Amino acid sequence: MKKVLIATGGTGGHIFVGVAVANELKKCNIDVVLGTSGKCEDLDGLRYYCIHSRGLLGKDLIEQFLFPFSFILSLMESFWIIFKERPRAVLGTGGYASVAPALTGRFLLIPLFITEIDSIPGMATRFLSLFANRIYLSFGETVRWLPKRKTRVSGCPIRRLRVLESSIAKAELGLNPHIPLVFIFGGSGGARKINSLMVELISQIDNTQFLLATGRRDYNEVNERLKGYEKVKIYPFISDMGLVYSASDLVVARSGALTLAEIQKFKKPAILIPYPYATLQHQAKNAKILEKKGCVRVITEEELSPGKLKKEIEDIIKNAQIREDMSRLFPDVIDGAERIARDIALCLDT
């Protein structure tokens, strides 16, 4: 059986893109193994290897000094994985952790495919585009930064998520089906500033339920500070995102590309707070695309304050017509996982 090694970065966005494509490749009778530097959660039972790697941009002097040694280690691990698994192709989903497996594969004359889900390609994607056979994009405007002849606009690969009626999803979560729900999260690792603001605001917004995905770092603190609030559900990490999206009436989140694709899939009105230190400001540019369509509102980190966030939440959550209008303005999402998998399968058959 043909096999593909999927090399993912350490964040949820990169990992879940890899999982989404992996599940579609399996439908094409292609075996899949993952190489990742992230925490190996919610991988749908896929086999994986951990690759020890670290980034370079934005790091302190010690991290920069250690980078060459870490990269050499990741190359050695990649050689071992490829030697053991004998993949027919490597798919990189972005992030520094995908670089070593991708380069190793190309050195061994194994075809390289890469995905870029952000509107502005990261440094890893730009570098690997020099060696890639094909590059799959979520946004058409991303083409300008990459070799055009190699690119395909496939849409963003989205993992399999349950879709339920809102009232049924709320009941399954132990929430009141008749009260609006605000879902707050800062990506797979959480966002401390958003968590802190919501802890402050929850007591000030009435007739509203809240579900917070805090990330493991902040979970204990947030849980302690909100103890006794019946209208709040708090989780360190959510595996069943489809259930939570289905239940939600408003989402407050960062603006990573995968988050935006999932919000778009469920057509959920959102308040987006782009991560200000994202490489090349790609989160801000991602958010701007949907803001122009009127289906989300954007608050920059500089503008962010308790009063500003409270006003925006109340304006949307207390007005069903505004929520309906925002939902209607979402463009249909293109799920790229199947397209990418079929194209890779076709390339491996030729």
Do 342 and 305 sit in the same domain of this protein?
no
Note the residue count of the chain: 350
Residues 237 and 154 in one domain: no
Q: Write the pLDDT tens digit of every residue in 186-244.
A: 865 557 889 999 999 998 999 999 999 998 888 999 989 998 888 999 999 898 999 99
Boundaries of domain holding 148: 3-158+334-349
Share of residues in the chain with pLDDT > 90 (%): 69
- Do 187 and 53 fall within a single domain? no
Same domain, 187 and 124: no
pTM: 0.89
Indicate whether 151 and 190 sit together in one domain: no
Sign, CA dihedral 106-111-115-119, equals positive
End-to-end CA distance of the chain: 15
Angle among Cα 79, 81, 85 to the nearest 5 degrees reads: 120
The CATH number that applies at residue 313 is 3.40.50.2000
**Are 124 and 66 in a shared domain?**
yes
Q: Which of residues 137 and 42 earns the better pLDDT score?
A: 137
Judge whether 11 and 39 are in contact, CB under 8 Å.
no
Say if residue 338 is in the same domain as residue 297.
no
Instruction: For residue range 73-99, list pLDDT tens digits in order.
Output: 999 999 999 999 999 999 999 888 899
110 and 191 in a single domain? The answer is no
The pLDDT confidence band at residue 57, using thresholds 50, 70 and 90, is: low
What is the model's pLDDT at position 123? 87
Domain count for the chain, please give it. 2
136 and 228 together in one domain: no
Q: What is residue 95's predicted lDDT score, i.e. its pLDDT?
A: 82
Please check the confidence at residue 302 and state whether its pLDDT lies above 80: yes
pLDDT in tens, 94-137: 888 899 999 999 999 999 999 999 988 988 899 999 999 999 99
d(CA 275, CA 207): 29
